[in-house]
Each structure stands twice: as C-alpha cells, then as structure tokens.
Structure 1
Amino acid sequence: MPTNTPRKIEAVHKTCRIIEILRERGEAGITEISKEMDFSKSAVHGHLATLNDEGLVVKDGHTYHLSLRFLDIAESVKARIAKRDVVREQVRTLAEETGEVVHFGAEENGRIVYLSKSKGNSAVETVSQIGKRMPMHSTSMGKAILAELPPDRTKAILEQYELTERTENTITDPDQLLDELDDTHERGFAIDKEENIPGIRCIGMAVSGPEANVFGALSVSGPSQRMTEERIKNGLSEKVAQAANVIEVNSMYS
C-alpha cells in the first residue's frame, strides 16, 4: 500500500549520531563511539573513514574530532537567516551600550537557536553558546518569535514540545502562555522573568524581514537586580528596537 512517509536511511542516522557524539565530547576514539552507540567497531570505523575522506572529521592519532569545515557550513547557514556582518555588529554594539549579554537567534524546528553572542563590560557569564538550542516557551527570544508567528505555526510548536519547567517561574500552562504571548505582541517585546535561568532576566524582540516575516530575535540578558521592569521598559526596549530595526532594514537588501 503506498505511503507518504519518506524512506529513511539508517546509515545516515548513524553518521549523524557519530557527528553529535564528537560535538558533545570534543574528540573520541572508535571504541568509545562503538560503546556509546552499541554499534560494531568496524562499522564505526567505516563511517569515520568516510567522514574523514569528506573532510568533515579529522583523525588525530587514535581519536577523531570535527573539522573546521563545520565553521564554513555554519557561516553559510547564518548568512541565510540575515546579513551576518550586520547582525554581529548590532549584537556587539548593543552589548557595549547595555553592558549585558546580547544574543541573536532564530527558530528552527520549534526551538530557538543561538546564532550570535556578545558580552558587555558588566555581563555575567551564561551557559549559552553559538548553535545551542533552547526551548521557545522559557526564553525571551523564543516568546518574542512565538508572539509574531502565524497562529497555526505557534500552536504547532506548542503542541510539538512539552512546556518543561526549567525554573519555578517557567510558564508551563498552555493557556497562560498564550495570554503571555498576547501581551508580548501588544507591547512589542517579551520578558523572561527568571523563567530559563534562576537569577537572570531578559528582554527579547522579534526581528522581521520583508512582508513582516519573522526570521529571528534579539535579546539582552542580565542579573535580575539590574534587569528591572523600569529599565526594560524605559531604556532597554528602545535600544533593542533600534538594533532590530537596523537588521530589518539591511535584510531588505540582502
């Protein structure tokens, strides 16, 4: 009987899993990967040899690590989202002006992915890093994007993933989150009230391209005692809006 489900290639799944293991561990040997995957050493060796031939991994003695080709791949992907030089400059400038941590991210498969990061002089260290994927419902960038997406897309994302409680302040009730997204849309920016990391508050604002298509978001994160409601509404929101506008205007000519 015909089916609309595409045929999946198990070997490709295994190759992707090997790449993920190398990303997580930095480097690993055949035996280590074999045990992790419960896969034969000879099969792992075959996958690694192929990846090495393609220039995607590098063999160093008895271990392997991802190659620098992934940097080129990553830059190409980021360029598809927005002009990376403009994004990088606005993220850096916003970090200098606010003194806090600034991120630019985009939604992919229902998650927010960090694409750029810069730290101001007063910034506190966070666990965020380029390429890291985070939930949409607990982050200011995620909520900012959800508030601007078409309702059916927002609904699909919220149904796809459980609203996991990351802190005691995380919104885990779908109806409450939808109310929060309505408020976010009305005021033009989202607020993460220690919903993702205890002690850290953030303001997030969606960034849109031609025809109001949302392609990313900016955020400013800092300690709760500095990220007060007054500072967010009467200072930071305007600075973030200015940076978002520069990215939006430049995206029209990319």
Structure 2
Amino acid sequence: MTEQPRSNRPVTTTESSIQILEQLKDNPGRTLDELTEELDLARSTIHRHLLTLEDNDLLFRENGQFYLSLWLLDFGISARDRISFFDVARRQVDRLAEETGEKVWLVAKERDYSVHLYKASGASPLETSARVGQRRHLHQLAAGKAILAYLPDEESHGIIDRQGLIEATDQTITDREALLEELDEIRERGYAFNLGESIEGLNAVGAPIRDEEGTPVGGISISGPANRVKGSLLRDELPDKLLATIDEIHINIRYGSAD
C-alpha cells in the first residue's frame, strides 16, 4: 500500500481543533488560560474552538477545565472494528499471554505508524506508558520493525524519509544504514527484537501479521523487563511461541476463522 498524498490546501480551522484535541489528549483538564500558553493560537480562537467542540459533545467542561468526551471512544472502537484481523488475532493474543505469562500487544499499521489495538498481560504485573490507541513510530518497536522489514523497499524507505528516526531512548536506532541492515536480518529470521529501544529496561520480540498478498498489516509483540526477558527466553523460547501464534492467525486470515 503506497502512501496517499497529503492535501496541499488544509483547512486551518480544522487543524486548530485537532491541535486542541491532541493537547487535551496528552494533558487532560486544561483551562482556557493554560491552552493559550501552550498552543500557538490566539486566545479568542481557542475559545471559539472549545465552545464548538463542547457544543458538539467532543469535549466537556468541569470547574473551568476541559476534557475529551467519552463519545470519542465510540469513534475509536468503530475505527478498530474495521481491522479485519482484529477478532481472530485478539483471541490468539490472549492465549499467548496466558501461555508465556508476559505482556502481549497487538498492533496495526496505519499509514506511517504503528497503532496499539489490544493488550493481554498474562501473569505479568508490568505496567508501562503504552496504552490502547497509542500511535508510535515503527522503528522504535519490535512489531514495528518487523512490519518495516516486510514492506516493499519503496514504502519502508518512504516512511523512514518522511518520519525520520526519532529517538525514544538511548538504544533507539537512529542511523538509517544500521536500521536497514537490521531489517535485512529480521527478514531472514522472521521476527524482530526491541532491546530497550522504546522504553528503557524493556525487551520485546515481535513479528508481522500479513494479509493474503503477504503485505504486513499489523504485528504482535511479547515484552517484559530486561532483567527477566533475556537470554534463551528472549532469543529462542518466546520467538518460537510467537511465530506459532502468527502462523495460526495467518491460517485463519486466509482460510476462514476457526475456533
């Protein structure tokens, strides 16, 4: 799937509303004064947008502070429901988390990014900043690198050119040639590693979910603390279980769901 061209005539009023929504997503409970300090928009402009968004139930106000409305959750669930592999992959993710005892994430590729669709924690008490709905750069994640590795070169190189190699931790790969070399290795073995590249002290292994044409549309990762998820567990045991799960998903995608 090639990248669709961006509009060269964006609607600036819509972009302003999006800026406000993004700011409140990351910083809920902001007042008009705080939003005016944080955004490069006039106070009167922000106020008009807040009132419009509030009138349309996308925001609500409490004690002068603005929050995203839960109605936005309905939009997110509707977006997730269009993912053809979600239901079958979710069941396999639950099974994999129970079998390994580690946290397992299901992600989808959307445009240049990875989006977290679903997680299962198994017996692991590990909690990180990752959350369902979160969008991340592909090169920072095990599942994301696995997706990049199986994309056509034109598309993977285009993503790298457009997004750059933004650093999440000191271990994130930020050198283009180093990343391309690692993508070659991922294709050879069928899975990718994340060694503290997205969150310090967290290791993960990930593999791509591919459609009937072999195009990566998502992925699964298994993650845990680096002091536990290491050695043969990381290098052999978890990859074997992950690839077996991916194979079951591919069979269901291509030949119909089977419980």
TM-score of Structure 1 vs Structure 2, range by shorter chain: 0.7 to 0.9
How much is the aligned-residue C-alpha RMSD, in angstroms?
2.3
| Equivalent of 1:108 in 85, 110, 116 | 110
Instruction: Go from structure 1 to structure 2 and tell me whether the alpha carbon gap of 1:27 and 1:174 turns closer, same or farther (over 3 Å shift).
Output: same
Distance 2:43 2:165 in 1: 39
Matched, 1:25 2:30: no
Corresponding position of 1:99: 101
Distance 1:22 1:195 in 2: 27
| 1:28 match: secondary structure | coil
Of the structure 1 ranges 61-70 and 161-170, higher mean CA displacement relative to structure 2 is found in 161-170
Cα-to-partner distance string for 1:140-188 (whole Å, 9 max, x where unaligned):
1111000110110011112223323444433322222111111101111
Q: TM-score, normalised by structure 1?
A: 0.88
Of the structure 1 ranges 99-108 and 44-53, higher mean CA displacement relative to structure 2 is found in 44-53
Distance 1:234 1:125 in 2: 24
How far the C-alpha of 1:33 sits from its partner, in A, is 1.9
Corresponding position of 1:65: 67
Q: How many residues matched?
A: 251
How far the C-alpha of 1:247 sits from its partner, in A, is 3.3
Name stretches of at least 5 consecutive residues in structure 2 with no aligned partner: 1-5
Distance 2:237 2:7 in 1: 50
Q: Percent identity?
A: 35
| Equivalent of 2:164 in 162, 165, 180 | 162
Instruction: Go from structure 1 to structure 2 and tell me whether the alpha carbon gap of 1:5 and 1:66 turns closer, same or farther (over 3 Å shift).
Output: closer
Corresponding position of 1:138: 140
Corresponding position of 2:126: 124
* Match runs of 1:214-225 below 5 Å: 214-225=216-227
Spell out structure 1 runs of 4+ moving beyond 4 A: none
How far the C-alpha of 1:83 sits from its partner, in A, is 4.2
Distance 1:86 1:170 in 2: 31
Name stretches of at least 5 consecutive residues in structure 1 with no aligned partner: none
Instruction: Go from structure 1 to structure 2 and tell me whether the alpha carbon gap of 1:159 and 1:38 turns closer, same or farther (over 3 Å shift).
Output: closer
Instruction: Go from structure 1 to structure 2 and tell me whether the alpha carbon gap of 1:138 and 1:45 turns closer, same or farther (over 3 Å shift).
Output: closer
Contact kept, 8 Å, 1:27 with 1:65, in 2: the verdict is yes
Instruction: Go from structure 1 to structure 2 and tell me whether the alpha carbon gap of 1:149 and 1:43 turns closer, same or farther (over 3 Å shift).
Output: same
Amino acid at match of 1:75: I
Distance 1:50 1:60 in 2: 16
| Equivalent of 1:209 in 183, 193, 211 | 211
Q: TM-score, normalised by structure 2?
A: 0.86
